[in-house]
Amino acid sequence: MGYPPAEVADTIRDAFKPIAKTWPYINLWVPVVHERPEMKWFRAEIRRGLWGLGRAYAVTRGAHISLSSFSMPPSTVYAPTPPRRAATRYRPVDRMDALFAMARMRLARQDELAAVLGEEELDIPHLFGEGFLAEKRVQRAENRGRGKGVLQEDVYVEIRRKGLILVREQWGLTPGHLPPRELTRNSGRVHLHISRMAPRIVRMNWGDRVEIYGGWSEPKLSYTLVRPDALVWGTWDGAETLFWLEVESGHRSMKSFAERLQAKMQICAVLSHLRVVMAVLSTRWIIQAVTLLKPPPNVAVVVGRWKGRDSWLLPVPEFGRIRVARKARVR
């Protein structure tokens, strides 16, 4: 899934507005596919993001829909169906998933795109096909990164305007609207890289106990203005779980970071129906402040180092408690 659910809801709003002006009695139905019955967070986020739409809308799992699925009684006045767009000839799911992910990131390292797609390695020509590359929908961009931590041998992938137009057509957006992009908040390149690698960090530490359905850096959430550095949606031991990643380089004071993290824990407590694993990657002196906090019962906090030989290594989470990786403990 290339976009987090709150951003999906925003894009659906943008696509629906001109249609609603043309067809005043239209209703909105958003079927969410590839989701298990017990996995409800993605649908609930889209439903919250569509609140106040002014039309009856339903967000369902697959094609299962009834009148009770709608937010209000739907309009039943007949209106002709708007003409469908011509189907694109690029239909492989993995290719379009990669293109959606690139539309959100715009420019990404090759290993970052692989992490978002749940792959260990990527062969760019094989993934996108010679047609995409020849038509300049995407391209390889050597040494395009800027800032501290950029290596000369880094290989970047960049989506071009033709690729963005194709994604726009898949969304059903009107001309002049481009697909939304991630909010980087002027974060450093290393910070952004770790955030984008979040799905791989989760899989690397707890691969035998987790199943991942999507992961995003700097995602928007429908119920708060606070954004995690990264969010991974999946299961822990078969139960629906959010993995919330925070990366702290040590530029904040211990008190400031502790207050900020405690506030984010309280946001997680609102999701009482969900378990949340909050992973904090930071320096050793910041870790000392984290250990003094008290997480809510549905939140597990795990702490590790953000750089160094033992970076990204995290302990097994325990809900209601804070656990620190052995190599990251303050002596």
Does residue 75 fall inside a structural domain?
no
Does residue 46 fall inside a structural domain?
yes
The pLDDT tens digits for 244-274 are 999 887 677 777 888 888 888 888 877 767 8
Q: What is the largest CA-CA distance in the chain?
A: 72
| Residues 162, 223 within the same domain | no
Does residue 308 fall inside a structural domain?
yes
CATH for 105: 1.10.10.10
Count of the separate structural domains present in the chain: 3
Does residue 12 fall inside a structural domain?
yes
Q: Quick one: the chain helix, strand, coil %, rounded to 5?
A: 35, 20, 45
- Confidence (pTM): 0.82
**Residue 92: pLDDT above 50?**
no
Picking from 16, 34, 69, the residue at the C-terminal end of a domain is 69
Strand, coil or helix: 217? strand
Does residue 85 fall inside a structural domain?
no
Neighbouring C-beta atoms of residue 135, cutoff 10 Å: 14
Residue showing tokens 């957006």: 173
Q: What domain range is 299 assigned to?
A: 189-328
Question: What does the alpha-carbon distance between residue 168 and residue 161 come to, in Å, rounded to a whole number?
Answer: 10
Span of 47-56, 240-249, 263-272, 313-322 with lowest mean pLDDT = 263-272
* Angle value at C-alpha 147, between 144 and 148, nearest 5 degrees: 125
Does residue 87 fall inside a structural domain?
no
CATH for 270: 3.40.1350
| Residues 245, 122 within the same domain | no
- Above pLDDT 90, what percent of the chain? 25
| Residues 101, 140 within the same domain | yes
The pLDDT tens digits for 175-213 are 878 888 888 765 678 888 999 999 999 999 998 899 998
CB 103 within 8 A of CB 181: yes
Does residue 88 fall inside a structural domain?
no
pLDDT at 89: 36
Mean pLDDT of the chain: 81
